[in-house]
Structure 1
Amino acid sequence: MRRFEGQTALVTGGAKGIGAATAARLASEGAHVVIADFDEAGATETAEKIGGRAVRCDVTSREDVEAAVAAASETGRLDILVTCAGIIRDNLLHKMSDDDWDAVISTHLRGTFLSARAAQGPMVEQKSGSMVLISSVSALGNRGQANYSAAKAGIQGLAKTLSLELGRFGIRANCVAPGFIVTAMTAQTAERIGVSFEDFQAAGAAQTPLGRVGQPEDVAGVVAFLCSDDASYVSGQVVYVRGGP
C-alpha cells in the first residue's frame, strides 16, 4: 500500500520505540517523514534507515516545536502529526517529587499541546490533516504513575477537543492508547519494581487475552490506519491497543 504517497508526516519522539515504528510504517507507505526528538543521534539513525529527516526537538520548548513543524512544512504541506515523545518518572504519590510531576506533565501533556497547536497552522491553511496523539492504558489509572496517568488522560481529552475545534477545517484528531508494549520505557518500569524484563513481559502476557505483550509495530499499524483515508470519518476517538478489552 502507498496510502501516504506525496504526504508529509511529523513524528515527535520518533527516535525509538513506538515513534520509530510509526515513522517506519508511514515511510513504507510513501510518506516523507520528519522525526523530531530530543535524542538527535537516535533520530538521525532512524531517519537514515527510512529515508526521512531528523530534527532535534525538546517538545517542552515552544521554539523547538515550532521549528520542527516549520522544517516538516518545507515540503509545502503537513499532512500528519503523531505525538510519541514521552518520559516516565514513576513513584508512589507520597514519594513523588515536584520535579517528577512537572517533568512528566511537561513532556507528555505540554509537549502534545505545543505540537498540536503548531501543526494546526499549516493544516488549517491546506484544510486537511490528521493528528494522532499517543496516550496509554495508564490513563485509566496505574499504581505508581500519578503523573503519567494524569498526563495521558489529559491527552485523551485534548484529542477529543481538537476534533471538535478542527473538524470544520478537514482535520481529524484521534488518540491511541497502548497497553503493554515492549519498549525501553517498559523496561524502565521493570527495573523500577525490581524484576527482570523477561519476567515482566511474561507477567504482562499472562494478563492479556491474546496471551502476548505488544510490539511497537502493533501500535504503528493502528496509527497508520487513523492517519489514512481509510479512517476519513473517524475523529475524536480513543483506540486502546492492549490485546484485549
Structure 2
Amino acid sequence: MFKLYKCNCINGEGGCVQLYLSIKRILDFVLSLIAIFTLWPVFLIIAIFLKLDSKGPVFFKQKRIGKNKDYFYILKFRTMKIDTPKDMPTHILHNPDLFITKIGRFLRKTSLDELPQIINILKGEMSIIGPRPALWNQYDLISEREQFHANDILPGLTGWAQINGRDELPISEKAKLDEYYRRNMNFVLDSKIFFLTIFSVLLADGVKEGASNDSKICRSDK
C-alpha cells in the first residue's frame, strides 16, 4: 500500500498510477462531503454577513480551465461590489480598495472566499490538491502548462506552486512547479501540500492564485 502512494506518475506503472488517482478521487469526494456537512454553519454565517455588507449574490462564479482543458465554473464567496468593472485584473484597477467589500477583504485575507470550491471538488471538477485552475483567458499559463501536460490532471484547491511562491512567481515557474507535481504526484506529496497550506493560512499568508505582472489575464472577482 505504501508503494502505491509513492508511485511516480510518469515513471511508475500505469495501473499503479490509475489506482492512486482512483483513491485520490475517493478521498476528495469523502473529505469534501464531510467538509460540507461540518462547515455549513460557516457558509451560513458568511452568507449573512455578505448580504448585510453589500448588494449582490453570495457566490461568485468564474470560468476556469479544468482537466483536459475542459471549461467549468469555479465557485467563490463574492468579495467585490457588483459595480466593479468586468474583465479587468484587480491589480490594475485605479483604486481596488473602492471595490473590495469589508467582509470581502477579511475573506481574502483568511482565504475563506475559496471555501465554496468544496462543491467543485464534490462534483469532480477539482481535486483538493492539484495545479490551481487557470482562468479561461490566461493564455500564457495554459500554453506553458500544455508543454508539461499539466492540463491533463484535475486542478486543485491548493497546489505545489501555491506553497512555493504563489502570486510572486512568473508564469513559467508556476508551470514548471505544476509539472513537478504531475510527475511526482503521490500521497506523501499531497499530504505535505495540504498541511503546508493550512500552516500558511493560519499565518494569514493566504495561499491563493492571482494576477502576476507577466500574466495576460482578465480577472474580475465580484
So what's the TM-score if we normalise by structure 2? 0.30
Higher relative contact order (CA 8 A, sep 6+): 2
So what's the TM-score if we normalise by structure 1? 0.28
The structure richer in strand per residue is 1
